[in-house]
Amino acid sequence: MKIRCIANTGNALPESYLKPEFYFTKEVEFPLTLGKEYVVYALYQSQGNVWYYICDDNYTYYPMQNPAPLFEVVDSRVSKYWRFELAPNGRLEMAFEQWFTDPCFYDKLTDQEEAEVEIFEKVKELMDAEDFTLPPLDVAVENLRETVSV
């Protein structure tokens, strides 16, 4: 999944995204470049708000969550490395496998624990290299039929 930055300040956010306790205010400036495309490494939806985990312009070794209203979706196809989880509280998440198999994965990653940093580097490399240049559906079906016909 790829997104393009269309805004990079809190002024562009709906009220439901503003959380002063997490520094999400109207005055905040996000380290994002207008017009730049970003790969989405994970996302979650909670209480009607969608957040993308991307490697923003201050990227060091882990993706940061950014509010969806700052972006437009450029390519909505999801990564083949993503998994889906719907928590009992209604929180929906899509991310790579290790995000879910270890409930503390992201915390360990942000704490710069070696194993988690290495895992994310590998996942990032794989997701960055994903080729989404697929043929139109009718062409893909015809190609499939040609390969399985007797």
* pLDDT score at 61: 93
pLDDT of residue 23: 82
**Whole-angstrom Cα distance, residue 142 to residue 145?**
5
**Calpha distance 136→8 (Å, rounded):** 34
CA dist., res. 113 & res. 150, Å (int): 53
For the whole model, what pTM was predicted? 0.86
User: How much is the pLDDT for 30?
Assistant: 95
For every one of its 150 residues, what pLDDT tens digit does the chain have, with 9 covering 90 and above? Answer: 999 999 999 999 999 999 888 788 999 999 999 999 999 999 999 889 999 999 999 999 999 999 999 999 999 989 999 999 998 888 999 999 999 999 899 999 999 999 999 999 999 999 999 976 777 788 888 888 888 865
